[in-house]
């Protein structure tokens, strides 16, 4: 039986903002050696410390052992399975934080219409820094955002010379899309993976969205939309402008996006933005504390053998 290393303590794991953004692998075997994942392919064998990777994207032809997946979960690494046709399935590791502070704050904000609209306006305000959107309705914000995105596509088309008609993505047939649509799909997939990783690493919920709703990745779509116009859309158009029909558009786009994530220190911004949107919770997110909730007495100690009491508190 394979012997494994002791599960890493939270203090031993790299903070999310200090990790490499994502790593894409295909046609490889993945195993585990102590606290590293071991990747074996035709090029040789490489050991990668699990605590340094934020998102692992697994493409076609990947075999991964149960022990390797156990390590990824313990290290708080997000795993994104990427099919040949662009179909994705997300599988999270455990959050790097043991605190539920951000999750509780998020649930409170999304459960109150007034507070929810306030967060949605904040997210739109980040995209319209020169305009005041504090009084706009959700319908007005959607219309304003739609016009902005269409304008960005037109501007990128003029900048790069890439013909643009409309966004088209068939999850059942990735290759059927135009080069620019394939590049956009690959770029956004990487951004969704990074957004997902930051959200779950800090203990928030990927499913509690403020603009998008009803999907287990609603907040991922909300969060990723903050960065598409600045990062993934320009990269996709640049890749499409320089690519040929023989090129692997997905690979070229992923490499370009990866470099932009690292060079632009996007993960550091994402961590700060997420905390700002959810109220910049003061609780120590590194704390490993469990309390009991009481509707009258507030938080009570966990691990105490409580005695039966009457309503007035007398034993």
70 is in an annotated binding site: no
Query: Which residue is catalytic, options 42, 45, 165, 213?
Result: 45
**What is residue 243's three-state secondary structure?**
coil
Catalytic residue list contains 45: yes
Tell me the Ramachandran region of residue 280: left when phi exceeds 0, alpha when psi lies from -120 to 50, beta otherwise: left
212 is in an annotated binding site: yes
* Residues pairing with 301 in the sheet: 291
DSSP 36-58: EEEEEETTEEEEEEGGGEEEEEE
DSSP H or E run through 78: strand 78-82
The answer to whether residues 156 and 237 touch, using CB atoms and an 8 Å cutoff, is yes
145 is in an annotated binding site: yes
Helices 179-201, 266-277: axis angle to 10 degrees equals 60
**What is residue 29's three-state secondary structure?**
strand
The residues that are catalytic are 45
- List residues forming the annotated binding site for Mn(2+): 145, 212, 225
- List residues forming the annotated binding site: 145, 212, 225
């Amino acid at each position: 039986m394979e012997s494994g290393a002791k599960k890493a303590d939270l203090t031993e794991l790299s903070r999310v903002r200090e990790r490499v953004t994502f790593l894409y692998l295909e046609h490889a075997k993945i195993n585990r050696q102590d606290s590293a994942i071991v990747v074996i392919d035709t090029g040789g064998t490489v050991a990668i410390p699990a605590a340094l990777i934020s998102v692992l994207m697994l493409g076609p032809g990947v075999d991964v052992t149960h022990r390797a997946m156990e390590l990824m979960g313990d290290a708080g690494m997000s795993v994104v399975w990427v099919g040949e046709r662009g179909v994705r399935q997300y599988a999270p590791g455990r959050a790097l934080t043991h605190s539920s502070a951000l999750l509780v704050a998020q649930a409170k904000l999304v459960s109150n219409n007034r507070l929810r609209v306030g967060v949605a306006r904040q997210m739109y305000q980040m995209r319209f820094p020169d305009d005041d959107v504090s009084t706009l309705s959700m319908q007005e914000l959607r219309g304003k955002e739609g016009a902005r995105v269409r304008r960005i596509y037109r501007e990128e088309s003029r900048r790069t010379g890439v013909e643009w008609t409309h966004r088209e993505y068939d999850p059942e047939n990735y290759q059927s899309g135009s080069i620019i649509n394939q590049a956009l799909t690959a770029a956004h997939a990487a951004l969704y993976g990074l957004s997902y990783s930051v959200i779950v690493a800090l203990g928030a919920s990927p499913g509690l969205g403020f603009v998008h709703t009803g999907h287990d990745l609603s907040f991922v779509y909300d969060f990723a939309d903050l960065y598409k116009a600045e990062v993934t859309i320009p990269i996709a158009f640049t890749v499409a402008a320089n690519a040929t029909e023989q090129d692997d558009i997905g690979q070229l786009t992923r490499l370009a996006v990866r470099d932009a994530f690292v060079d632009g220190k996007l993960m550091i911004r994402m961590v700060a933005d997420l905390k700002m949107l959810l109220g910049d919770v003061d609780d120590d997110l590194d704390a490993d504390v469990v309390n009991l909730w009481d509707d009258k007495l507030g938080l009570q100690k966990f691990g105490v053998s409580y005695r039966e009491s009457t309503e007035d508190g007398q034993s």
